[in-house]
Structure 1
């Protein structure tokens, strides 16, 4: 259950993180910014890591939700181009998000457990969201008809790597070019294989045998 003052504390923690970084942020300082007592804060967050984790979860969730809301009202989750557009929009939002950029610059080790040890709350939300969307698209024939959860995990692995490493590995390649290549990669991966679509019989095979030319 959410505590009524939780948003104010998360706002204060975010402001401190952006101003001085994670290492110089303290629960005492956050309590002062939020206008609550330290004991009130400690009852909800036993340490700074748990508080910063909730800041990240809120921030990432808002970005994913905002990208999902980009879907035109007259289109459905079955449209592959819309799905890819939303994935790209989420990637671009991460790459420009001030909280993400601050963490990557000053405390990237905070993200390591979610890359090597466990699935975080936002990662789980993304997998669940993609699984539903990809499943709907597969039923409409616009995405490969395989386990949608497997597709969702693979898409997350690809875009997560892109978000974390594109800036470091891009070199002279423009960001717009990389985004275009990511779009091509995702569409190529998700588009149904030609072999999955029953081929029409050749014209000659469609005619009765007795009608074929001698």
Structure 2
């Protein structure tokens, strides 16, 4: 007897459908009608949950960005000091986001969608990441591997640094020059993060 396949919840099915639509045509050309059709639900079902495509895509980005960032974290039983785990998690998380198909599509086709989260306000995914970073920093204060300071401010500074590498790295790299290729910049990011956190 075959095991039952997990069926996504209503919200998850809608978010999956929205992801497929955005990957196919971008945010501006995605409609709630398209998403409803892909999700196999009525348009009114989506309108009861999301007032427009932007709100739906906002929830989609939160889900996808957090999953990518959390997937880059070291294992819970990693024995290394907190500073090493933070540096690795942030560097790998930035790479995971840059390589994420949805992130790349939005950056290529609808970059203005990301501007509010860079210039005006924090999004839900940023707040969740800040909370996670603050926890890691407190662990680093406790084990002595991280310079003691206000963990909330430290977390915000770290996120500002990593955001610039995530959003703008391709403007500074040159794959034809090993001194300026992505791995060289990632090594510099590790160095910057480690030095800023070292006691």
Query: What TM-score do you get using the length of structure 2 for normalisation?
Result: 0.91
In 2: Cα distance, 1:174 partner to 1:72 partner? 31
Q: Could you tell me which residue of structure 1 aligns to residue 79 of structure 2?
A: 75
What residue is the counterpart of 2:26 in the other structure? Answer: 21
Q: How does 1:1-214 map to 2 (within 5 A)?
A: 4-68=9-73, 70-71=74-75, 73-75=77-79, 78-171=81-174, 172=177, 173-192=180-199
Is contact 2:87–2:193 with CA below 8 Å preserved after alignment? yes
Distance 1:72 1:135, change over 3 A: closer
Q: Structure 1 pair 62/74, CA: closer, same or farther in 2 (3 Å)?
A: closer
Q: Secondary structure at the match of 1:75?
A: coil
Return 5+ residue gaps in structure 1 as ranges: 193-214
Larger Rg: 1
Q: How many residue pairs align between the two structures?
A: 188
Aligned equivalents of 2:130 and 2:18: distance in 1? 27
Q: Is the 8 A contact 2:14 2:36 kept in 1?
A: yes
Alpha-carbon RMSD: 1.4
Q: State the SS of the aligned residue for 2:37.
A: helix
Are 1:71 and 1:86, in contact at CA under 8 Å, matched by a contact in 2?
A: no
Residues 85-109 of structure 1: CA distance to partner in whole angstroms, max 9, x if unpaired?
Answer: 1111101101100000000000000
Distance 2:17 2:76 in 1: 34
Rounded Cα–Cα distance in structure 1 between residues aligned with 2:78 and 2:120: 40
* CA deviation string 1:78-128 (max 9, x = no partner): 431121111111011011000000000000000111111111101001110
User: CA distance change for structure 1 residues 74 and 87 in 2, over 3 Å: closer, same or farther?
Assistant: closer
**1:43: how far off?**
0.5
Unmatched 5+ stretches in structure 2: 1-7
1:169–1:42 Cα change, 3 Å: same
